[in-house]
Amino acid sequence: MFELSEFEEMYLKRIFEAHFNQPDAIVKTTQLAELMDVSPASTTEMIQRLANRDYLTYIPYKGCRLTSLGFKHASRIKRREELLKILLTDVIRYEGDIDSVACELEHNIGSDLEASIDRMLGYPERNKEGVLIPLVDRNVIISGKNALLPISALPENVNSIVELIISSGVAIKTLDGAGLSIGSEIKKVSDKYYCDGSEFKFSRELSFKVIVRVNN
């Protein structure tokens, strides 16, 4: 497989986005040029270059479509973007331009880091807008005994103990008053969480911030 530049990966991602529901459809050269904010001539040159590497099928005077190799690569880039957006929004609580930062980072993380982020986020299937996140070679790991993970990634019917709450002192006191604290026993049954035997509702944001240790 050829090494792609960030700009080349952006071309593949834009084609993927243009026909997410119809991956075999032709993307017109003029349409792609507008999406990339470049001239049609530059777009044609890039299409031919990517076609020579088997990422695209070039249809002269019409446009292009992703090959199976191109679709797989574009799917992974889009997937990383969506995972990074969730990470920046719900975990880091970044207040800057999330789209811009995620777009910059998506080209600079490897498969191992992608898998770690996916696991930390609890293997999300949809983004915050409810759109499916592309799924490419996902390796879901069910954590073993003594593993640390956020409750968002806690498997069903597994006993765990709260080890860490990533939050402010005020929030921790509020949670403690609600019955959740370091040492609390957490278990997930039928998509519901139980804290020391009583049902406890975790917000999406909180589910990334409560870290538990699996003990069975």
**Higher-confidence residue: 209 or 81?**
81
User: Three-class SS of residue 143?
Assistant: coil
Look at residue 1 in the predicted model and tell me its pLDDT. 52
Of 16, 35, 70, the residue that ends a domain is: 70
Task: Output the pLDDT for position 204.
Answer: 76
Q: Which of 162, 177, 170, 142 is nearest to 209 (CA)?
A: 162
Residue 113 within any structural domain of the chain: no
- Token pair, residue 71, equals 């679709």
Instruction: Please report, for the domain that includes residue 190, its CATH number.
Output: 2.30.30.90
**pLDDT band, residue 189 (cuts 50/70/90):** very high
Does a structural domain hold residue 36? yes
pLDDT of residue 106: 94
Domain annotation covers residue 64:
yes
Reported as type and span, the H/E element at residue 66 is strand 63-66
pTM of the predicted model as reported, rounded to 2 decimal places:
0.69
Confidence of residue 193 (pLDDT cuts 50, 70, 90): very high
Are 188 and 154 spatial neighbours (Cβ–Cβ below 8 Å)? yes
Which of 50, 70, 90 is where one domain is finished? 70
Tell me the average pLDDT of the chain: 86
Contact (Cβ atoms closer than 8 angstroms) between residue 212 and residue 154: yes
pLDDT-based confidence at residue 65 (cuts at 50, 70, 90): very high
Q: Tell me, yes or no, whether 102 lies in a domain.
A: no
- Encoding tokens for residue 138? 């996902």
Question: Tell me, what CATH number does 15's domain have?
Answer: 1.10.10.10
pLDDT at residue 168 tops 80: no
Which range of 64-78, 126-140, 144-158 scores highest in mean pLDDT? It is 64-78
Distances (CA, A) of 34 to 14, 63, 187: 10, 13, 50
Q: What is the pLDDT of residue 68?
A: 86
pLDDT per residue as tens digits for the range 73-127: 999 999 999 999 999 988 888 899 999 999 999 999 888 888 888 887 877 888 8
Q: What is the pLDDT of residue 146?
A: 66
Give pLDDT, residue 93.
85
The reported pLDDT for the residue numbered 91 is 82
Position 205 in a domain: yes
pLDDT of residue 21: 66
Could you tell me if residue 18 is inside a domain? yes
The number of folded domains in the chain is: 2
Domain encompassing residue 54:
6-70
pLDDT digits (tens, 9 = 90+) for 126-142: 888 888 888 776 655 55
Alpha carbon distance 8, 31 (integer Å)? 16
Answer whether residue 153 is part of any domain: yes
Domain boundary (37, 70, 103) is at 70
